[in-house]
Structure 1
Amino acid sequence: MSQHTPPSPVKKGKELILDITTAAFEGKGLGKVGEYAVFVKNTAPGDRVRVRINRKRKNYAEGVLLELLEPSPIRISPKCRHAGTCGGCTWQHIPYEKELVYKSGHVKDHFQRIGGFRDISTEPVIGAPEPFYYRNKMEYTFGDRRWLTDEEVQSGRDIADRDFALGLHVPGRYDRILNLEECHLQDPVSFRILDAVREYALANNIPPYNTHRHEGFLRNLIIRNAEHTGDLMVNLVTSGENDEIMQPFSSWLLERFPEITTVIHTINDTRSPSSEGRYQKVLYGPGYIREYLGPYHFRIDPNTFFQTNTHQARALYDVVLGALDKVPVLYDLYCGVGTLSVYLSGMATRVVGVEVHAGAVEKARENAAENGVSHAVFEQGDMKDIFNDDMIRRHGSPDIIVTDPPRAGMHESVIRQIISILPKKIIYVSCNSSTQARDVALLSEYYRLERIQPVDMFPRTYHIESVAVLSRNDT
């Protein structure tokens, strides 16, 4: 007798009533039809919702929220009118303390399910003291294809300036821009500047850039602020040079916002959507801002990477610092611009930073020099190619390795090299606990997992940072 796979209870385009039971990864709510999983954005555990299935896979489907039939008792009113539309925030509709519980659960689930650490527990998440206004950098986009919200469409009213928008990309629609009317992610002065820039551009008929036609002038507005020095950078990215536009624009901004300490004009005359551009012109001030992390100071240029949440960066770095012993040699893998290398420099006689990007390595050397850290050296190259026996011979075998790889985790050859030299301790920092759990499992024959400490760097989003502390089995 032949056996047939039972038909799926869910079809694309079908509407159904769903009870949301779990806050899944990426901020989506999870409900089930029998044993079949359905993920829905902008929902919370305890919600009963009506959804339409818009994507179907073998083992799961995704649905669009059509109606909130019964709200969860944990639901709260979002602070921002754009919550659920712009993509900047994921979880404004749930209390922050619940968000931290869900994030901790995601990290624990990854280590149990992917890493195979069945009895593992995580430390309570180090939450942010302020879940809003924490970002020290916001990048906004200009566009001539304004995204209309459901409220605007349903109102039937005529929408002025439909061919001009300044705000954030609508998720999944990189040619459509949500014209922000408020934002609570950066210091309030940031949004006041955005509003003023939009006002000036409209009043002076300065055209926004069109990605399809490669036409228009204004491409991006990037605002960076320093929590501890008060420095404030405004960076306008355009499709070309035009001093007749930019000089009056800069002067007007400075008159309106005297707290601005530097104005940058970045020129990107290519089709690339990158806001880094081909070159910059400094219209006012030094062309950079300065910030402190603990006793160390850092120069932040227009394109310098710096942790986006200054307060939580210090909290994260202190977790790493607290896990260290004083040692002769410490390696900082994937060191970026060297902020963590500098921050940890007091714990080693020699610090060796390794990074693939040449510009970041140059900046790391500058950061070390400016802070008087003469015992730090930085190597540039692909980690899997240069983290080898020759490097170990030149710099000495590390007693401790601190590693903070990109989301994809560490290359297998890097893990093999770590195993070949067996440092006493590994501190693994990650923004993706699924690949972190995978890599830690590969090290588990030689190391015991002592501690997992999640740190919330991005409140009101689903992102979570985690620090795993591993000690060699014979120590």
Structure 2
Amino acid sequence: MKLKKGADVELKIESTAFKGKGIAKLNGLAIFVPNTAPGDRVEARIIKKKKNHAEAKLLKVLEGGPKRIEPRCGHAKMCGGCSWQHVDYASQLEFKQSQVQDHMERIGGFKELEVEPTIGCEQPFYYRNKMEYSIGHKKWLSREEIERDEYVSDRCFAAGLHAPGRFDKILNLNECHLQEPISYEILDFIRSYCTENDISPFNRIDNEGFMRNVVVRNSYHTDDLMVNIVTYKDDQETMQKMSNALLDKFPQITTIINNVNDTKSPTAVGRYEKVLHGPGYIVDSIGGYNFNIDANAFFQTNTGQAERLYEVARSFADLQPDDLLYDLYCGVGTLSLFMSEKAEKVIGIENVDVAIENARANAKSNGVENVEFVKGDMKDVFNQSIVAEHGKPDCIITDPPRSGMHPDVVEYLKHLEVPKLVYVSCNSSTMARDLKELNKVYDILEVQPVDMFPQTYHIETVANLRLR
């Protein structure tokens, strides 16, 4: 039988693939099915058919496998925020280790390298310190709503997360278990307040309306709690009334910000912002260093697990008191400061202006004097000139974006031949690609996955390299 798009098939899920999809085989063809787990027997519909594989949509779980559990959240089947809630946490950690192992072998060519077991998160729910909710005028309808006999409108004040692959529709949340419960309670209150007071959601197609986003940030080590309300227009009377209502309902909120994004850009970062209550920032810490976190500042999303990630990186670096350390792609300097007490000097390099400004401010506020930050595109500034100015490093830590390191950076790392190199990655596939090149000069001693994002397929990985 020739498999065609639109065909309904019964499948047995055998394993998992990158991005958390289950893999089944039918007549030798690999079929990828989201929201499944190994051992599941499912009914699925083919939605894409290619020469070497097919993609299918889950219709029904006929028989759950041993790793399947009942998701905690009622939105789990539709929401892209928690793609693995139907898998028990121990199995999630095993799957993530297998993902990294697959990338190391298939992309990196490291057949003899054994990836370490994933370091799990002690708090697999409510671990995020930031949730960015979207607001719109069209909600995503569930299959149950579509199949009802009565008419169900998709137009309302929808507040939640974007439906997977749909910029124009919002999954109207009734619950969320990624951040502390007060986060969803604040979102729910704002949704009701806007409905009762005729405050309109933003329409991205017509560029009309008012409310765009609600961003909630909470501190892991303090009681600080921020609400950042992103609007399309600047209406301070409306916003001050909303702020007062929020404080009456949630007196534990320590600061409220209004970001005004009056552009077509879908970002939750405003063109300018106004502080409605409190100092305009919250304070959190990593490794004993305090950081002022503004509404639009970058900060590790899982504070507690970030400390474990940094501890692995520091252990791999094996810093000595007279070591010079380079921290490539240093961001706001959290890792640079974390390493600073073990090294003689740290040079952080970063391309983003606001990140460099925050990094320098963070070093100053924490009284750290042996860290210096250099601004510039890595492929342009990480060369012989920076080494001539600051000295040849004894150790380099690199934490590039998902795309990995630019080939010029990889080549200079090979040329520089530093004794110790630590690679931190949020994408083990591009890490494996870069490690394959670096392995011409460096031995890969250890690869350690660290789970920063439970209930999702995302995984952070740290590799320990030594000069041959």
Q: TM-score range by the shorter chain?
A: over 0.9
CA distance in 1: counterparts of 2:344 and 2:116, whole angstroms: 30
1:389 corresponds, among 384, 390, 399, to: 384
Cα deviation for residue 340 of structure 1 reads 0.4
Cα deviation for residue 159 of structure 1 reads 4.7
Secondary structure in 2 aligned to 1:124?
coil
CA distance in 1: counterparts of 2:154 and 2:461, whole angstroms: 44
Which residue pairs with 1:198 in the alignment?
A: 191
Q: TM-score, normalised on structure 1? A: 0.96
User: Structure 2: which amino acid aligns with 1:363?
Assistant: N
CA distance in 2: counterparts of 1:153 and 1:10, whole angstroms: 28
Which residue pairs with 1:345 in the alignment?
A: 340
Question: Does the 8 Å CA contact 2:83/2:455 hold for their aligned counterparts?
Answer: yes
2:430 corresponds, among 435, 439, 445, to: 435
Cα deviation for residue 48 of structure 1 reads 1.2
CA distance in 1: counterparts of 2:326 and 2:401, whole angstroms: 17
Q: Is residue 2:55 matched to residue 1:71? A: no
Secondary structure in 2 aligned to 1:83?
coil
CA distance in 2: counterparts of 1:328 and 1:44, whole angstroms: 46
Q: Is residue 2:19 matched to residue 1:26? A: yes
Secondary structure in 2 aligned to 1:394?
helix
Q: Is residue 2:259 matched to residue 1:262? A: no
Cα deviation for residue 220 of structure 1 reads 0.2
Q: Is residue 2:219 matched to residue 1:226? A: yes
CA distance in 2: counterparts of 1:104 and 1:423, whole angstroms: 28
Question: Does the 8 Å CA contact 1:264/1:280 hold for their aligned counterparts?
Answer: yes
Cα deviation for residue 19 of structure 1 reads 1.0
Where structure 1 has 5 or more consecutive residues not aligned to the other structure, the ranges are 1-7
> Which string of whole-angstrom CA distances, capped at 9 and with x for unpartnered residues, describes residues 344-380 of structure 1?
0012111111111011011110111111111111111
Which residue pairs with 2:410 in the alignment?
A: 415
Q: CA RMSD in A?
A: 1.2
User: Structure 2: which amino acid aligns with 1:468?
Assistant: A
CA distance in 2: counterparts of 1:446 and 1:272, whole angstroms: 44
CA distance in 2: counterparts of 1:279 and 1:36, whole angstroms: 52
Q: Is residue 2:466 matched to residue 1:471? A: yes
Matches within 5 A, 1:242-261: 242-261=235-254
Question: Does the 8 Å CA contact 2:146/2:152 hold for their aligned counterparts?
Answer: no
> Which string of whole-angstrom CA distances, capped at 9 and with x for unpartnered residues, describes residues 96-154 of structure 1?
00000000000011001110110111111110011100000000010001111112223
CA distance in 1: counterparts of 2:286 and 2:146, whole angstroms: 46
CA distance in 2: counterparts of 1:151 and 1:230, whole angstroms: 40
Which residue pairs with 1:11 in the alignment?
A: 4
CA distance in 2: counterparts of 1:248 and 1:160, whole angstroms: 30
CA distance in 2: counterparts of 1:262 and 1:470, whole angstroms: 43
Secondary structure in 2 aligned to 1:163?
strand
Identity, % of aligned pairs? 53
1:113 corresponds, among 86, 106, 109, to: 106
2:323 corresponds, among 323, 328, 349, to: 328
Which residue pairs with 1:304 in the alignment?
A: 297
Matches within 5 A, 1:129-144: 129-144=122-137
Which residue pairs with 2:310 in the alignment?
A: 317
Q: Is residue 2:32 matched to residue 1:36? A: no
1:186 corresponds, among 173, 179, 182, to: 179
> Which string of whole-angstrom CA distances, capped at 9 and with x for unpartnered residues, describes residues 186-231 of structure 1?
0011011111111101110100001110000000000000011110
CA distance in 2: counterparts of 1:59 and 1:321, whole angstroms: 42
> Which string of whole-angstrom CA distances, capped at 9 and with x for unpartnered residues, describes residues 144-170 of structure 1?
011111122233455578321000000
CA distance in 2: counterparts of 1:160 and 1:23, whole angstroms: 36
Deviates most, 399-408 or 152-161 = 152-161
Q: How many residues align?
A: 466
Secondary structure in 2 aligned to 1:344?
helix
